[in-house]
Structure 1
């Protein structure tokens, strides 16, 4: 009897192992029609483009809009936090824990003022770089060791106009170039899940 109780206790207290074939792909942005085509929302735009290519529709769930993609034995959970940029970490932490996803299987897509338009930079870890979305994620996950995909939006704004610039819409030249950059971004997301972060960095950084 004692042995049976002991085995039952162990079974009930076993922590589920993370599903290493499940990935959380987070696009950062702000919810609301007024933000849809702004530079700051490139994370949302990449995931919207991916979902459209796969003929899938996002569903509103707790702390964000969610859609699931299955490819070659992997499950990709696409997340657009609806907490607004400064609180993005709440949604990332919630879905990471709910779906039992390791930080190694998280990719965060964000805009970057320090890169020229459309330039791609993928890193396995790093600082928040002054980005409020990354700052929130770092604070709540208590780590900087998660992959991030930075999409350059350039810094062509006058002094004191940074907020207006990032919350402004793409110019005509950028709009013309976006479709190709979004297609490339989809390749990056799939590469991260199928080939890993190191291969993805080697293949796509600077392209």
Structure 2
């Protein structure tokens, strides 16, 4: 069984430790834990890990956030992985910091990366793990907030939530989406 795990984010050092890059950060942590390395490939940095008889193809799109669907669509076709075996890790301002929610489908909720995925992969029916980054920003300052760096308090807690999201990824590929949602969604 093959799975495509897509961490959303933006490339470049200026974005590296921003809230919008939590998908990249989570996959970096998973690859580090599994001793996997990244390669620069077409439209994405890629890595592969094996877990309990499953092959997890990890990608971090190099298309920038707003064109994430281009990379996801390419790698789904290239690796012949059906959409139901894809999981998108995405930041979400509608959830409190550290809250994690797995969903089998849903709206983009204004997230440009998800909008592009919907446009290029044919709709909202794909699993996503929404990683809460909170909404502690003044009216009209959302872009500054999501592209802003984590606070020190958030940095101290981030590994705990990234590890929980990694547990959810592993559960998704072994137990399936429904059992994982039941076990982990808060």
Same fold (TM over 0.5): yes
Unpaired segments ≥5 residues, structure 1: 1-20
Is the counterpart of residue 188 in structure 1 residue 150 in structure 2?
no
Residue in structure 1 matching 2:158, options 174, 178, 202: 178
User: Partner residue of 2:40?
Assistant: 60
Coordinate RMSD, CA, aligned: 0.6
Residue in structure 1 matching 2:104, options 107, 124, 129: 124
- TM-score normalised by structure 1 residue count: 0.89
SS in 1 for 2:14: helix
SS in 2 for 1:79: strand
User: Partner residue of 2:117?
Assistant: 137
Q: Distance in 2 between matches of 1:102 and 1:173?
A: 39
Q: Distance in 1 between matches of 2:128 and 2:60?
A: 15
In the TM superposition, what is the alpha-carbon distance from 1:55 to its structure 2 partner? 1.2
Is the counterpart of residue 50 in structure 1 residue 30 in structure 2?
yes
- Provide runs of 4+ in structure 1 moved above 3 Å: none
- Look at both structures and tell me which one has the larger radius of gyration over its CA atoms: 1
| Residue correspondence of structure 1 range 1-207 to structure 2 within 5 A | 21-206=1-186
Deviation sequence 1:153-206 (CA, Å, 0-9, x none): 011101121111000001011111111111111101101101100011011101
Unpaired segments ≥5 residues, structure 2: none
SS in 2 for 1:108: strand
Q: Distance in 1 between matches of 2:159 and 2:127?
A: 24
Q: How many residues align?
A: 186
